[in-house]
Amino acid sequence: MQVPLYNQAGQEIGKTELNDNIFGIEPNTTVMHQALIRQLANARQGTSSTKTRGEVAGGGIKPFKQKGTGRARQGSTRSPQWRHGGIVFGPTPRKYTKKMPLKMRRLALRSALSTKAADGQIRVTEDWKLDAPKTTEMENILGGLSLQSSTLILLSEANESVRKSAANISDVKTLRANYLNVRDLLNYDFVVIPLSAVKVIESYLGK
């Protein structure tokens, strides 16, 4: 599929070809959802922990006699209804990790990219050249591309000038193309992909 190619000033300078097997497939929303749930689950630490009545300290003696006090009978001060007592059905450390076949993960990325391309939310540009980090220059570039909403910028390799230029702009994120994931693709409205980043994406999603 052919899409417009923009320069750093936001001017359309021609057309470029994108791989139809990556940017032009019929999106599989079921796999996209499964990949998103997997990514969110794998990001959970699972370190929340509480103690049951058998784990909290104390409670070895009956707090008061069984009869004659007018109060409800109690056998331990570590019962759940007591202050500093145990917790019933509380969280314990666990793993939330979910597995997903590599082919399905790649299909989810292709589906997300194809959805963005079909909605006109992908901007392919020439490789950016910034001599030094400058927020104003980054704002001018994004403004020239008519990106007034949240934007994900994909980079072929680490570029500190671009990363730092975008760091202070709200709703803008830079990401290495080989770290592309479904969560970021769905969280941001627009995706900016320089030509070198397109090659990186096609190198592992085009297989």
Q: What domains can you pick out in the chain, each with its CATH number?
A: 2-44+97-205 (3.40.1370.10), 45-95 (no CATH)
Reference 193, options 116, 132, 111, 139; nearest CA is 116
Token digits of residue 69: 């006090």
N-to-C CA span, the chain: 17
Please compute the mean of the pLDDT values over residues 51-80 and round it to a whole number: 93
Does the predicted TM-score (pTM) go above 0.75? yes
pLDDT at 154 over 70: yes
Residue 185's φ and ψ, nearest 5 degrees, are: -65, -35
Q: Which pLDDT value is given to residue 59?
A: 83
CA distances, 80 to each of 62, 73, 77, 98 (Å): 15, 14, 8, 33
Assign 176 a pLDDT band (cuts: 50, 70, 90).
Answer: very high
How does the average pLDDT of the chain come out, rounded? Answer: 92
- The percentage of residues in the chain with a pLDDT greater than 70, rounded to a whole number, is 100
Secondary structure element (H or E) that encloses residue 152, with its range: strand 151-155
On the question of pLDDT at 97 being above 90, the answer is: yes
207 — pLDDT class (breaks 50, 70, 90): low
In whole angstroms, give the CA distance from residue 60 to residue 21.
68
Three-state SS for 121?
Answer: coil
